[in-house]
Amino acid sequence: MNELLRKRARYLLADTLQEPVLFFDKKDLLADFNQEAAEKFCLSKKDEEVMTRKYFETNILQLTYEDNPNPKINREVVLQKDYATISYHFTVQKIHSTRKGYMGRVYSFKDITKQKMMYNALENMSAYDQLTGFYTSRVFANKLAEWDSEPGEYIVAICNIAGLKLLNSFYDKNITNGVISKMSEELRDVLPEDTLISYADDDCTTIVARNITEEQMLLYLSTASRKLKKRGLENVPVFLNFGIARRENTAVSTEEYIKYAAMDLLLKKGKYGVEQRREMTMALTEEYFRNEYESLDHVNRIKILASGMAEKLGLDVADKQKLDLLCTYHDIGRVKTREEVWSRAALITRDELDIVKLHSIAGHQIVSNMQLEYDISDLVLYHHENYDGSGYPYGLTKEEIPLVSRVHAIVDAYDVMINDQRYKGAVSEEIAVDELRKFAGSQFDPALVKLFEEYLEENKEKGL
């Protein structure tokens, strides 16, 4: 094959490639390139045998020129063309011939712009918490290491939302995520732009700021806390707690001062936490009745019945108070179930019944996070257990079920039967008592049913 045919074949092969390819001869002069290379690097035929490899690398690729780049090494270059950024991987390959020996170098390019954009997007996602927009713990630690290498004093702070577990147990996750998002907005609004902020899944927000005083940080966080309390939730106060420390000794890492700020946060939570939780509990209780998850009239009626039973049983003060609280909060887990299921309780499917049964567990979680005078979380969990073991969630029997829960089961069922319900009408007191007798020994404690009958008779005799 003559030289002309060889050259035409080389052009044909090169121009079928969809990526730029260039060939520099053994004198490091541009000897050949394909159409893609001509378009991407603005080359023309007049550049052949004139443009050097050094000129191509330093002026077009804008790389540091290497006299003898290692063959088969992938490198990366970013070019600006027509206001667009294009990223390439390119390979430099030495070409040898058995007859002529070393012939030159081939530069082959692969467009990786899309892959680079995807990588940057993933890197960005891993660098920032998606809910708050703050740094993730990993990136925050790297940034902090950079700051620690420089002299200077920093103000360090730790923040968290008081009672977030309680809010998570009461509200849908989207609502509490909205609260966290509002917290991030308020912090970002008051803190200087160059502040390092990190958010962790345990609701711990870490802040490191320079060129401000401890008093300024206190003012910033107090402002954010005050604004969050107003706009966090419509009817429930949201408290932002924080601890602050000043890094004075630059020989000590900022990580140590973060621990000091965490200790300050714990001290403040010990001082204000109980009152904050109590205020939130009162507000959530009002929210529970406001949204008609439970009838306040029903609660007040069964409290009276329960109080009478407590007197007949001779319960101590603690158990009396627990029974009273159980009457209030026994069905609070309904806030985590679909309310339309309850409105047609007589017609629900088996799957929907399973959803209904979950309200005991949900109620246990909510009440365990509340600031109540007595812990009634287990009583809420067991309030649908039956005397013969046919109840839920655990199928407890007889004395395995707390006495307070067994008393509540009777007074609750009785009041439900004698008062109008959404899915069935009320019955007379006599029929309600007959129903209690019918299910004594299965659903209800038979001894307590008998005691309840006596209590009702006594009230009749008193005209109550």
Is the separation of the CB atoms in 391 and 442 below 8 Å? no
* Tokens of residue 236, six digits: 């429930």
Coil, strand or helix at 28: coil
Per CATH, the number for 128-288 is 3.30.70.270
Could you tell me how far CA 224 lies from the centroid of its own chain?
21
Q: Find tokens 């160059």 and name the residue.
A: 194
Fold match between 3-118 and 292-462? Answer: no
Radius of gyration of the chain (CA): 37
Element (H, E) at 276: helix 254-290
Domain residue extents for the chain: 3-118, 128-288, 292-462
**Backbone φ, ψ for residue 81 (5° rounding):** -145, 125
CATH of 292-462, one of 3.30.70.270, 1.10.760.10, 1.10.3210.10, 1.10.1060.10: 1.10.3210.10
Element (H, E) at 243: strand 240-247
| Nearest in space to 104 (alpha carbons), one of 63, 49, 38 | 49
Integer Cα distance of 136 and 189 in angstroms? 19
Q: Which amino acid is at 337?
A: T
For domain 3-118, is the CATH number 3.40.50.300?
no
Is the separation of the CB atoms in 268 and 243 below 8 Å? yes
Query: Exposure pattern of 239-262 as b/e (b: 16+ CB <10 Å)?
Result: bbbbbbbebeeeeeebeebbebbb
Is the separation of the CB atoms in 101 and 115 below 8 Å? no
DSSP code at position 52: B
**Backbone φ, ψ for residue 205 (5° rounding):** -105, 120
Coil, strand or helix at 387: coil
Is the separation of the CB atoms in 56 and 30 below 8 Å? yes
pLDDT of the chain along its 464 residues, tens only? 445 445 554 555 556 678 899 999 889 999 989 888 998 898 998 988 899 999 998 888 888 766 655 555 567 788 777 667 888 888 888 888 878 788 889 998 988 888 878 877 666 667 888 889 899 888 898 888 888 877 778 899 999 999 888 998 888 888 999 999 999 999 999 999 989 999 987 788 999 998 899 999 999 999 999 999 988 898 899 999 999 999 887 777 888 888 999 999 999 888 888 899 899 999 999 888 887 666 888 899 999 999 999 999 999 999 999 999 999 999 888 887 755 445 555 555 555 556 667 888 989 999 999 888 899 999 999 999 999 999 889 899 999 999 999 999 999 999 988 886 655 677 888 898 999 999 999 999 999 999 999 999 888 776 55
pLDDT of residue 152: 75
pLDDT of residue 200: 84
